[in-house]
Amino acid sequence: MANEEHESEIFNRQPAIEEPTRYPRGGTDLMAAQFCKLGASFESLRTTCFWLLLRLIVSSNIIIRMIKSDLELLLPNQQGLDIRETLREEMGLFPLDTFPYEFPGREIKIDFEITEFTAICPFSDFPDFATIRLEYVPNERCIELKSLKLYINSFRNIKIFHEHVINVILEDFVKACDPLNVEIEGDFHVRGNIKTVVRASYRKQ
């Protein structure tokens, strides 16, 4: 009897039918909100990626221009020479010394003529000779002459172009004594049938 009841139970058993997933009330709205949030996040990510890519392109262009500029400086010249000026920080120039001007407000002009200036041509490695003429109006300090002589003499082993050396002297002179104005001239000796004269000036604002 027990066996018959057991067989009847097995025979009458129906396969389980999965109930459809039922979302709680308002579940559809929640899913829509989730999708909207996901879409907003994707849009934000896309915008961020766009700006990062744009910054990368701009930075790359800047780097390319810098590399191109450096390469142009390193490219051989028409004569195939190795041109290397002495770097500013490697010059080791003697420092200019000063002393107080006891009559500030009374303008005077001071002229220097330095007839034995020597430096080295970066093209040929031959010495360049020049007469340096300098006129300045002191403000509160004057240049001490011995330091000026040693400063000028320290260019003797420096590789530098005519156009650059006059600017270097002008910058160092202004930095040392803060004059009211300065005029400087480099009268270089004839080289290859060409005479070069370089002039520069400064006026305190």
Tokens at 31, concatenated: 């899913």
What is the helix (H) or strand (E) element at residue 31, kind and residue range?
A: helix 27-74
DSSP helix/strand/coil, 112: strand
The conformation of residue 88, written as its DSSP 8-state character, comes to: G
Q: Which of 22, 2, 20 is nearest to 10 (CA)?
A: 2
Among the listed residues 49, 97, 111, 128, the single catalytic one is 128
Paired with 182 in beta bridges are: 136, 202
Kindly name the residue from 97, 121, 172, 187 that is annotated as catalytic: 121
* Token pair 């262009």 in the structure block, residue: 61
Indicate if 128 belongs to the active site.
Answer: yes
Q: Catalytic amino acids? A: 121, 128
